[in-house]
Structure 1
Amino acid sequence: MANFSKERGNCVYVAKLAEQAERYDEMVDAMKKVAKLDVELSVEERNLFSVGYKNVVGSRRASWRILSSIEQKEESKGNELNVKRIRDYRHKVELELKGDYYRYLAEFKAGNEKKEVADQSLKSYQVFDGAYTKTVES
């Protein structure tokens, strides 16, 4: 039991450090370890978990909003070449977000539901990877 408590404390501390350093992916990873200990999360732990995910997804959503804004400006200028480039790039961000959402869902599902959402996540990431490779090679 002491090892459980020590590991839990270490993970929570690392999550707090990661939050301060704005390394939200690592914050989420640390809190997932706590969740896998199969203990009820405290209010503080639930908040750390929530803040981590909110920030991971939030930064990607912010990227999407910025790209959409730039796209609108280029459209108003009539610059179709840049509009196409932006749409292609925004599409990659959308695919990555979709993959992330499905991956987060998979972490909390079980059985067939877990497999289904994990498959959706993988599919989105594979399409994202293909779109990314295509853009880089263009």
Structure 2
Amino acid sequence: MTSLNTWRYLLRAICPACIISREEYLLLAKVAEEAECYEDLVAQIKGLTQTYGALTIKERKLLSVAYKNITNPLRSSWRVVSLIRRQRVRIEKELTDACKDIVKLLNDSLLATAKVGEETVFYYKLKGDYYRYLAEFAQQQERSRCSDSSLAAYKFAYKHALAMLGPTHPTRLGLALNFAVYYHDVRKSPEKACHLGKHAFDEAVACLDDSSSMQVMRDSMTILQLLRDEER
């Protein structure tokens, strides 16, 4: 119960048959206006209308003030949300075009001429990445199609990486990281993401030795840290 209605409540409690005068309604309405309690102002005008019917010019102005101050902030919020929605549509269109462009380049040219080994893994990883990006914001059937295409690319790349690249190879580790992100974000399967990350992390740690080049060691340790964070 608002403080502005306390007096009215007490009056009704003491004398249920008592009717609040028009002047008392108007006083409470003006107090509500001064306090910028526009919902309370509406309540007083509604009570006045129910009790006395038609409104005077002053009362109509109070009614207008009440609803204007309630609706104006909401209209402003709606305009902001509408602008954001239009911006989102534009950004999604540009992002979709960019993702589809690189996937087309991969399918039409780069994958067909890729050498066995790191190059093939790299390009199929890219294909999985950009289908994953599309799946993140696509709708319904398109999301499912992009998710399946991303999964197929990642699986092919990971199988090839296991056969052709060492456990500490940065491209293999980067693939494992992104594949884990796919399971976590797109498939909503943190268990599979953790399993994949842990497997790649454990294999790489077991193979780290003094013979590894410093650059490979640095790249591998950076990605291993990301895998461990993803596992958590």
Query: Could you tell me which residue of structure 2 aligns to residue 59 of structure 1?
Result: 160
Letter paired with 1:52: A
TM-score (norm 1): 0.53
Query: Could you tell me which residue of structure 2 aligns to residue 124 of structure 1?
Result: 199
Q: Over aligned residues, Cα RMSD in angstroms?
A: 3.7
Query: Could you tell me which residue of structure 2 aligns to residue 108 of structure 1?
Result: 186
**CA separation in 1, counterparts of 2:160 and 2:124?**
10
**CA separation in 1, counterparts of 2:144 and 2:192?**
28
Are the aligned partners of 1:16 and 1:48 in contact in 2 as well (CA < 8 Å)? no
**CA separation in 1, counterparts of 2:205 and 2:147?**
35
TM-score (norm 2): 0.35
**CA separation in 2, counterparts of 1:44 and 1:120?**
24
Letter paired with 2:157: V
1:35 aligns with 2:135: yes
Unaligned runs of 5+ in 2: 1-88, 112-122, 213-232
- Count of residue pairs brought into register by the alignment: 105
Query: Could you tell me which residue of structure 2 aligns to residue 11 of structure 1?
Result: 99
Render the CA deviation track for 1:79-98: whole Å, top value 9, x for unaligned: xxxxxxxxxx7xx59xx79x
**CA separation in 1, counterparts of 2:193 and 2:106?**
26
